A and B are shown apart, each in its own frame.
Chain A
Amino acid sequence: MDMLKQHDHVEATRGIIKAGIANGKLDGKNNYNLGGVGGVGKYLKDYSTLLTGGLTGNLAVTYLGSYGLKYQVTALEGNVATVMFTINNSSTIESATHPPVIGYTPWWSNNIGQPLNNAMSSGPMSKTTQTFQWTENIIWK
């Protein structure tokens, strides 16, 4: 989990949390996703671990790919905020085999993705879910 805590996106989220507290927002979401042109760079960086034996990128994110991130400020004391982070990730054979572009159409889901999921609804290659949760203190001002 330490690797995940060090991911660039988690670090950026700490900045969002600081700004949010200043605006009175004590919880929120900042999912890590691969959409847009910037997603290509993220993808290449995340998977560069496989070529460099982990010298680049972040091995935890190589496994997770995109992930859901929620945060909640559980205590505020002076300039220190106690924040709970929750990261969720679900993987199915459909999500693992999404090709670019066409993989995000109902046609692909109905004809390829869902049949694959149904065929592998149990045992190896069936759906897995990971949840990571930790609490840390952030100096917000």
Chain B
Amino acid sequence: MSRIGIPIIFTLMFGLFSCNKVAPSGFWVGFQKELLKENISDQGPYGGHLAMHWKSKKEKAFSSKEIIDFATRNGWELVDTLEVRSEDLKTWDYNKIPIFPLSHTGFSSTPINDSMHEKFPRWINTGLKVYMFKTGWTTVDPGTGESNQVNGFVVLENSGSEMSVYHLWGE
């Protein structure tokens, strides 16, 4: 989709988003900081993505209540959940690399071979639960122009020892 752009805003956005907390969904860096193991974030003026992972040696280190409360306090709205068995994760790969199947059309538990999935590595390989949120941002599918508001996801490993966050917005 072509658009009217204001190049100077690019520079302002770089300055703003260089502070991780200000970036869309950047508030997650404040969640159990000591257990945060991975933090992938690429934000630009026309869209961005984020993939984060926390891990603890203890079970029940992360709870659904704590996650939902934290997300809600920061403007995310829970809309749905999905339990996924470990055997169903076998199809969640891109070129044999484990991924979380998120793209501009949204999350799909039966992923197609989409290069966008490569941006969302999956660190949890056992049974898990996916929490789906509206985030206050929209994604726009480049082919159809259709937008989607459910684009923030928390993945909680069943024992509560690992969790991941994924977010995609813009184009």
Contact = CB atoms under 8 A, between A and B. Distances in A.
Chain B interface residue number, banded: 35 or more
A29 B112 contact: yes
A104 B140 contact: yes
A33 B47 contact: yes
Interface residues of A, number: 51
Contact of B42 (A37, A43, A47, A64): A37
A68 B116 CA distance: 12
Interface in A62-119: 62-70, 87-92, 94-101, 103-106, 109
B145 A39 contact: no
B49 interface: yes
B104 interface: yes
A66 B136 contact: no
Given A67-B142, A105-B138, A62 B170 contact: no
B155 to A, nearest CB: 21
A100 B144 contact: no
Given A92-B145, A109-B147, A104 B42 contact: no
B149 A106 contact: yes
25 contacts: A20-B95, A27-B112, A29-B103, A30-B115, A33-B171, A35-B47, A35-B49, A35-B168, A35-B169, A38-B44, A39-B46, A43-B5, A64-B1, A64-B2, A66-B171, A69-B143, A88-B143, A91-B1, A92-B1, A98-B1, A100-B46, A104-B137, A104-B170, A104-B171, A109-B147
Interface of B: 1-7, 9-10, 13-14, 42-49, 95-96, 103-104, 112-116, 136-145, 147, 149, 168-171
